Amino acid sequence: MDVPAEAQIDLGVVRDNVTGLRKHVGAAELMSVVKSDAYGHGMIPVARAALAGGAGWLGVIRIEEALALREAGLTAPVLCLMSVPGGRHEEAIRQDVDLAAGSAGMVAELAAAAQRAGRPARVHLKVDTGMSRGGATMSDWPGVVAAALAAQAAGHVAITGIWSHMACADMPGHPSIDAQVKVFQEALAVAERAGARPEVRHLANTPATLTLPQARFDLVRCGGGTVGLPTLPGPMPGWLRPSMTVRARLVQVKQVPPGAGVSYGHRYVTSSQSTLGLVPLGYAEGVPRDASGLVQVYARGRRWFIAGTVSMNQFVMDFGAEPAQEGDEVLLFGPGDNGEPTAQEWADALGTITYEIATRFGGRLPRSYLGVT
């Protein structure tokens, strides 16, 4: 490591995760969702590794992300999962990017963009099956389908997909799971009776992909699963591994006496003569400010709690009576192979999910890559 801190991404692990997910879902196709810079892992390299592992589709949130994939030379089907009024729809259509629509108004906007682009828009109609976020409610759904069928008959739209998103798939046994699957099936029936014949029907996110065969339909969407970060409770399948390791080096080591207050507010006070090590990462780089005493990091063969308030660009470790040296490696989290914490352990300690942990770090640190490029 030539820099004092970095996020290292193992693209071989990304590839193998996707291969494992493909085997797990059988006949269903797999979309690797690489939104938000692939959850902080790097959109372009992760997308390439995912395609090498067998992903047939890529998913993003913003049109700009989809266009960046095209500019990088990736020709696989790409779905932009959120269309916004006034977006760069015409450009997306010209670049063969699939677009989502959850209202009759958006269908009309995409149809108009398609006319300007001189080719039909490939559209995935989104139904709200119970998450109450994006998509058409079941009362509005017949009108959205009718608008899309009319635009398709006019040659401006191709209804490529019908889809929805699950709210509680990472909470096994939650009553909304079966309810959402049922509503999605009803929405499909409404659309099919009206004459829609989508290429793909998709509902399952990563946790649903792993645990709910009834939610897989034609295509599953795996973002966290691609990079080895499912949000389900309990251990992951053995074939699914985290691909990100965040590491740093101590940039200063010193001795302080008993009773020394450490960092802002002196929330931590040494209990004895102590060796303190300074790590050049703080909340600007992704370490939550309130992580002191809650999360552990790994150095010199064992785990240590963060000591004292996390600063903007640094935090302190108290090694007690044990020695430490400038340049010693500190592993914040990784796959856990060497005793370091995992992102799941950080998430559990901080009351959040692994996605937030990874995106906090990956977008703010220098990244290095192993494996597939």
| Positions marked catalytic | 35, 264
Residue 252's CB is within 10 A of a number of other CB atoms, namely 12
**167 and 144 in contact (C-beta within 8 Å)?**
no
Ranges of beta strands (E only) in 127-166 are 157-163
Phi/psi at 220 (5° precision)? -115, 150
Burial class (CB in 10 A: 0-12, 13-18, 19+), 241: buried
Q: Check residue 239 and give left, alpha or beta (phi > 0: left; psi -120 to 50: alpha).
A: alpha
Place of tokens 């259509």: 93
Secondary structure (3-state) at 315: strand
DSSP 32-84: EE-HHHHHTT-HHHHHHHHHHHT--EEEESSHHHHHHHHHTT--S-EEES---
